[in-house]
Structures are given as C-alpha cells and as structure tokens.
C-alpha cells in the first residue's frame, strides 16, 4: 500500500474545514457551506468503506500501517487499523455526514463555524481510532475536547456554559493522569509504539498503577458510575448534532481504549481490577437505568440510558472472552447508531415544539405517523429486541458474563428489564395516549432530510440485528488473538 489511506481519512475533514474557514465571509450562502461539508464527509465515508473492502479479515496484524518519524528519536507518527478499530472508523465516517444533514433548524447562527467544528471533530475521532502510538493517541484523544467544548458552549441550550465547562474539566482531569502514565511507559520501556509494547510487555510491578491512570481517563470518558455526571448535562445542552457525535462516537473512544490499551498493555492489572469494573458496570447498569426511569426530559433520559449501555460494554470487555468482547464492540456500534438516531428523533420534535419535556407530548401517533414508526424502531433497538443490533450485543455480553460470574450476569439482566421499562414508557408517553396539548396538532411529519437520516440509521440497525456476520467476521480474528496474548501473559505471571 503506497497510498496513505489512513492519513487521508484523518486529513480530509481538516482540509474541508480549512476550505470552509476561508469562505466564512459569505454568510448568506448557507446551503453552499453545508454542501461543502457534506461532500467532504461523504468522500471520507466512501474512502472508509473502500478501506473496509481492502481490509484483510484473516489476520490480526495491523494493516495500512504508516510509520513516520515525528519527534526525532522519541515519537513516531504511526497509524494502522486492525479488526477492532476499523469498525469504529466506519462508524465515525458514517455518523458525521448524517450529523451534517441533520443541521437544519437547530443551528441558526454561525453555521459555518459549526460545520468546521464538526469536521475538525471528525479528524480527531478518526485519529483516535487509527493511532498506534500512545502519544499520538493522547494528542487526538485530548484535542477532541476543543471542538466539543465549542459545540456545546456556542450552540447549546440554556445551561450550556455550565455543561461545557463540566464536560471539559471532567475529561481533562481524567486524562492528565493518563499522560503521566504514557510518559512513564516511555521511560520504563523506551518506546510508546503500541505494536512494540505488545511485543515487549510491561513489567508486572508497574502495571497496576499504570492501569489505574489509564482507567481514570477512560472511566470519565465512558462514562462509568460515579463519574458519569457530566454526560447528562452535556447531552441535554448540546445541539442535536453535538449530542449525536457525543453519544455515537466520543463515548466509544473509551471503550476502544479499554480494549486496545487496558487489556492489551496491562493484562495482569486488568485481571486484578476486573472485579472493580464488574462492580462499577453493574451499578451503572441498574442505578442509571433507575434514574432514567424518572427523567422528565427526553434527552436526559437517553443520556442516562447511554450510561447504562456503556455499563454493558465495560462489563463485556472485562469478561475477557471472545463473545464478551465481540458483544461489546457490536454493542458500541449498535449504540452508536441507535443513540444517534434517538437524539435525532428528539431533535425532530424539539425543532417543532421547542420542548424536550416528555409531558409536552402525547398522542402524536396519528399526527406524525412516519416519525412514530421510525422512533419505535429505535426504541425497540435501544431496549435490545431480537432482530435489532442492540440485541446481538447485549446477548453476547450476557452470555459471556454468565460464564464468568453468575451474580453479575443476573444483576445485569435485571438492567435489561429496567431498560425495556424506561424506553417503552418513554415511547408510550410521547407517542400514544390522549392528545391533550392542542399545539401538537400543528406538527408536521418528517421532512425528506429527516426521514432520510433516520432511515439511514434504521437500515444498519435492523440489518446487523438479523445478520451480524459482517461485523463479527471483521473483528473475530483480532479479538481471538488479543485474548490469546492476554491469557498467555497472565499465565506467564
């Protein structure tokens, strides 16, 4: 491979953003700037599909690797993909154009800057999933804070300042310890290259502290109970496209980080801390599901459900079994699609009624039937109905959990029931019931672009629900290899 396909994926959105930056003066050309952004992100999407097409599923080695000297003698710019990361890249390039299409009424001011922020965000997110050097990873991981801070702060709702600060400072606080750990790894092993580190291994006596440092960052980003409190605030105040990016992709960075770094680099520490993760995951699943049950605000409800779903993900990852990790990745992809769609659904009614409160709505099934159908698809996918992608992930995770720890699995299954309860209750209260609020009669059904984006999300949700093979085939070899290495290093200790 001579063509640097991964670097192109990383740089393309940035070039698009630069282009938008220099067309800033013509504010009346709103449609034009949107098309430029859309075009950039679509090119990126097709490029990533092409990447998937070229991807060799039979090996767990990193592919499309690019290795350039960056800081002489210390850090190389190294990127590459394996089965674990490629799906996240495709998810990112898939969600971003949909975000851009969805920017209709929610963003009224400074559209140009908004699109720049989204494209820059895409660059950083793809960078996180590609990078094979710890410092490069950290760079992308942290850099994502800047555009997201601005997206929440400039285009957000009433309490946007509080939420933006909370988001920024929480994540930064979590991440600085990871930087200490990364530099320590450099001095312990002499490299920050992930592939070399996989081969070298890190001395067991350092692993626990390093694991905790990485954990502090990933736990905030996941988010895990009890450091999840920034998420509901950020979600509620962010504009629709911001919530979508946050839920669909930003949260996945941490799950990805757990698999790639916590399991890959610190196997024996992961073994030690598995009970901690189990406990926090189960608390997240049950506790936040109960909180979600009581929410008045639709976005907040979905935000808490995200925490619960990510609880399943962390639970699955640390079962350290083939099904568990596969399930976690599928759950992350599925949650990426479903939560994005749910936030878009909330955005649709919010644009019309300017209220996110559940009790504003009710009985709108006859007024906006198309919306009701699509919303139902995603509600059912969120609660994990068989036939949707949500089921595949949760089922695999619970299967692995039952093998490992019966109690944890039972408690997590309880969470599934509460999950079904809050999602169905939400759907019932919003869509069915009596039409009390006469204002609602003026609502118009989905317009073309809304219908298009939601359908785009519904198709893979259902397709992968019935036929998850393409996903599993892609990740299978990488994961089994990861688990073999893991078991080998734990046994060697």
For other proteins, the binding residues (CB under 8 A) are 24, 69-72, 135, 138-140, 142-143, 145-146, 149-150, 153-154, 160-161, 164-165, 168-169, 172-173, 176-177, 179-180, 183-184, 186-187
Report the residue number, 156 or 264, with the smaller CB distance to other proteins: 156
Distance of CA 27 to the CA centre of its chain: 32
Report the residue number, 1 or 69, with the smaller CB distance to other proteins: 69
CB of 206 to other proteins, least distance (A): 12
Element (H, E) at 120: helix 111-130
Do 317 and 332 touch, CB atoms closer than 8 A? no
Distance of CA 178 to the CA centre of its chain: 20
CB of 257 to other proteins, least distance (A): 16
Report the residue number, 184 or 208, with the smaller CB distance to other proteins: 184
Report the residue number, 60 or 163, with the smaller CB distance to other proteins: 163
Beta strands in 194-313 (DSSP E): none
State the angle between helix axes of 406-431 and 267-293 in degrees (0 to 180), rounded to the nearest 10: 30
Report the residue number, 133 or 450, with the smaller CB distance to other proteins: 133
Do 142 and 25 touch, CB atoms closer than 8 A? no
CB of 142 to other proteins, least distance (A): 5
Report the residue number, 192 or 314, with the smaller CB distance to other proteins: 192
CB of 104 to other proteins, least distance (A): 22
Please name the residue that has the structure tokens 């198709």: 459
Terminal-residue alpha carbon distance, the chain: 38
Report the residue number, 55 or 165, with the smaller CB distance to other proteins: 165
Report the residue number, 166 or 335, with the smaller CB distance to other proteins: 166
CB of 122 to other proteins, least distance (A): 15
Q: Which of 126, 121, 161, 136 is nearest to 51 (CA)?
A: 126
Q: Look at residue 144 and give its three-state secondary structure.
A: coil
Cα separation, 237 vs 232, whole angstroms? 9
Q: Mind giving me the DSSP string for 272-295?
A: HHHHHHHHHHHHHHHHHHHHHHT-
CB of 124 to other proteins, least distance (A): 9
Tokens, residue 133: 């050097």
Do 100 and 91 touch, CB atoms closer than 8 A? no
Do 126 and 223 touch, CB atoms closer than 8 A? no
CB of 183 to other proteins, least distance (A): 5
Report the residue number, 190 or 470, with the smaller CB distance to other proteins: 190
Q: Look at residue 364 and give its three-state secondary structure.
A: coil
Cα separation, 430 vs 450, whole angstroms? 18
CB of 399 to other proteins, least distance (A): 39
> In the chain, how long is the greatest CA-to-CA distance?
69
- State how far the alpha carbon of 90 is from the alpha carbons of 46, 122, 299, 308, in Å: 9, 11, 25, 24
CB of 247 to other proteins, least distance (A): 22
């Amino acid at each position: 491979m001579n063509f640097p396909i991964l670097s192109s994926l990383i740089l393309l959105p940035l070039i698009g953003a630069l282009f938008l930056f220099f067309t800033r003066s013509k504010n009346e050309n709103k449609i034009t700037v949107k098309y430029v952004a859309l075009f950039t992100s679509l090119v990126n999407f097709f490029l990533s599909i092409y990447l998937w097409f070229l991807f060799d599923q039979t090996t767990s080695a990193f592919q499309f690797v690019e290795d350039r000297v960056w800081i002489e003698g210390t850090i190389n710019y190294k990127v590459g993909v394996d089965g674990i990361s490629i799906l996240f890249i495709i998810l990112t390039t898939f969600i971003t154009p949909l975000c851009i299409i969805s920017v209709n009424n929610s963003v009224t001011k400074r559209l140009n800057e908004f699109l720049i922020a989204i494209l820059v965000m895409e660059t950083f997110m793809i960078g996180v999933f590609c990078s094979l050097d710890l410092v490069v990873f950290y760079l992308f991981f942290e850099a994502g804070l800047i555009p997201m801070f601005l997206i929440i702060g400039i285009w957000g709702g009433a309490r946007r300042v509080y939420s933006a600060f909370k988001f920024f400072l929480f994540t930064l606080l979590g991440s600085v310890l990871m930087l200490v750990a990364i530099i320590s790894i450099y001095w312990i092993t002499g490299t920050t290259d992930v592939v070399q580190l996989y081969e070298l291994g890190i001395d067991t006596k350092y692993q626990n502290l390093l694991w905790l440092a990485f954990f502090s960052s990933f736990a905030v980003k996941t988010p895990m109970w009890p450091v999840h409190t920034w998420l509901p605030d950020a979600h509620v105040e962010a504009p629709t496209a911001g919530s979508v990016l946050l839920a669909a992709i930003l949260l996945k960075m941490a799950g990805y980080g757990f698999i790639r770094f916590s399991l890959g680099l610190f196997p024996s520490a992961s073994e030690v801390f598995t009970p901690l993760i189990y406990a926090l995951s189960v608390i997240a699943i049950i506790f936040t599901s109960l909180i979600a049950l009581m929410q008045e605000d639709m976005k907040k409800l979905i935000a808490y459900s995200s925490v619960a779903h990510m609880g399943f993900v962390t639970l699955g990852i640390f079962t350290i079994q083939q099904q568990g990790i596969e399930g976690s990745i599928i759950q992350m992809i599925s949650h990426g699609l479903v939560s994005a769609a749910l936030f878009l659904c909330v955005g649709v009614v919010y644009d019309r009624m300017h209220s996110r409160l559940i009790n504003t709505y009710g009985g709108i099934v006859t007024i906006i039937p198309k919306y009701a159908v699509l919303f139902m698809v995603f509600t059912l996918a969120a609660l994990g109905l068989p036939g949707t992608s949500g089921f595949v992930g949760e089922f695999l995770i619970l299967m692995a959990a039952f093998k490992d720890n019966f109690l944890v699995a039972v408690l997590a299954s309880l969470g599934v029931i509460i999950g079904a309860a809050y999602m169905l209750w939400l759907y019932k209260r919003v869509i069915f019931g009596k039409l009390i609020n006469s204002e609602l009669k003026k609502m118009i059904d989905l317009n073309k672009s809304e219908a298009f984006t939601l359908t785009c999300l519904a198709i893979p949700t259902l397709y992968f629900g019935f036929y998850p093979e393409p996903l599993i085939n892609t990740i299978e070899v990488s994961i089994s290899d990861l688990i073999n290495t893991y078991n080998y290093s734990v046994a060697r200790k």
